[in-house]
Amino acid sequence: MILLDTNVVSEVMRPHPESAVIEWVNRADGGSLYVSSITIAEIEYGLHAMPESQRREDLRARFETFIHKAFAQRVLDFDEASARYYGLIMASRRRSGRPLSAPDGQIAAIARRNGMAVATRNESDFSGSGLKIINPWRLDGLL
């Protein structure tokens, strides 16, 4: 099972996404890909921060379709067990001199709690978190 980082979801939603990412998503067993409520929050924030425009409405429609059709029943929440992993991951990264943003820490914690890999372009954001990291932008970012 693989938890998608926000940058993977954002890439797929772009009008002209990177072909390597689309190929990677298409090769994946659809039932093995998940998103987190944190990713939904980050994308919602980005959409609300945009000026009102047709582009924003198009992105919103694409996002709603993507989440409700592609990820029905596969959105993972930040629960109590995830919160405990969050504390562990954030403290460990801080001690190593590589602090992590709160959203990335929460995504990492959700993945650890559920025994999942993380698919992301930003490998360094998740290194040292006890997770398998998959980079769909790289040819060796295989499933």
**34: three-class secondary structure by DSSP:** strand
Closest alpha carbon to 9 in 37, 31, 50 = 37
Question: Do 37 and 9 form a contact (C-beta atoms < 8 A)?
Answer: no
Question: Do 4 and 35 form a contact (C-beta atoms < 8 A)?
Answer: yes
Determine whether the annotation assigns residue 5 to a binding site: yes
CB atoms within 10 A of CB 24: 22
Query: What phi-psi label fits residue 130: left (phi over 0), alpha (psi between -120 and 50 degrees) or beta?
Result: left
Cα torsion 70, 107, 82, 76 to 10°: value is -10
Determine whether the annotation assigns residue 140 to a binding site: no
Q: Residue ranges for the binding site?
A: 5, 104
Annotated binding site for Mg(2+): 5, 104
